[in-house]
Chains A and B, each alone.
Chain A
Amino acid sequence: AQKITQTQPGMFVQEKEAVTLDCTYDTSDPSYGLFWYKQPSSGEMIFLIYQGSYDQQNATEGRYSLNFQKARKSANLVISASQLGDSAMYFCATASNFGNEKLTFGTGTRLTIIP
């Protein structure tokens, strides 16, 4: 069984500052992936970044980076130089790399960027 914990229900951040969204996970799978999705007020799910459990380096995608600490079972999302358009719900998720690859999501963090 897999579990994702996001302990920050909401965050307010000043525009242009960096922000870290916390995610801890629990899984018994030997190989797994960690994902972050963004859900703006329009409702669609937007894939942001992926980290494989055996990847040696932290994943980066533009202004997004994933701070992966395997021993701590932590996969925090870092957004550099935040923008007003970053205001949204952010979900952390995990899936086994074997078999059906279904995602288990956390409850999300609502990020609000203040001008």
Chain B
Amino acid sequence: NAGVTQTPKFRVLKTGQSMTLLCAQDMNHEYMYWYRQDPGMGLRLIHYSVGEGTTAKGEVPDGYNVSRLKKQNFLLGLESAAPSQTSVYFCASTEAGRNQETQYFGPGTRLLVL
């Protein structure tokens, strides 16, 4: 049981390049989230999904797009990377409509934009 996995673990981009971060979960969770973590800022929500085929904006959505074509996968895209998007990105998932004892996080993706 892998839980939540993220691909890649680390990436360096040049300004203007594009990339996609993949999040996969094997727990059959309905809800999935993308957060970014900057120094001294805690985690902030970028986008989230409450089910296959649905997405919604979070606190800091600008410059990112997401897709949830399959229930187990949640993709985060950067169309034109900027240095301000240098951050650690975390994916998380949880069951829907239940007591929230556990929200499972992936190991994170460290992104450096030069």
Residues of A within 8 A of B (CB): 4, 33, 35, 37, 43-45, 47, 50, 52, 91, 93, 95, 97, 99-108
Contacts and interface: CB of A to CB of B under 8 A. Distances in A.
B31 A101 contact: yes
B41 interface: yes
Given A43-B107, A50-B100, A91-B43, A102 B58 contact: yes
Interface string B23-52: 000000001010100001111110010100
Contacts of A33: 99-100
Contact of B100 (A4, A35, A43, A105): A35
Most buried by B among A37, A105, A106: A105
B74 interface: no
Contacts of A37: 105
Sort chain B's interface into a size bin. Answer: 20 to 34
Interface of B: 31, 33, 35, 40-45, 48, 50, 56, 58-59, 88, 90, 92, 94, 96, 99-105, 107-108
A50 B101 CA distance: 5
Given A43-B108, A102-B45, 14 more contacts: A43-B88, A44-B105, A45-B108, A47-B101, A47-B102, A93-B43, A97-B100, A102-B33, A103-B35, A103-B45, A104-B59, A107-B40, A107-B42, A108-B42
Nearest to B59: A104
6 contacts: A47-B103, A50-B99, A50-B100, A50-B102, A107-B40, A107-B42
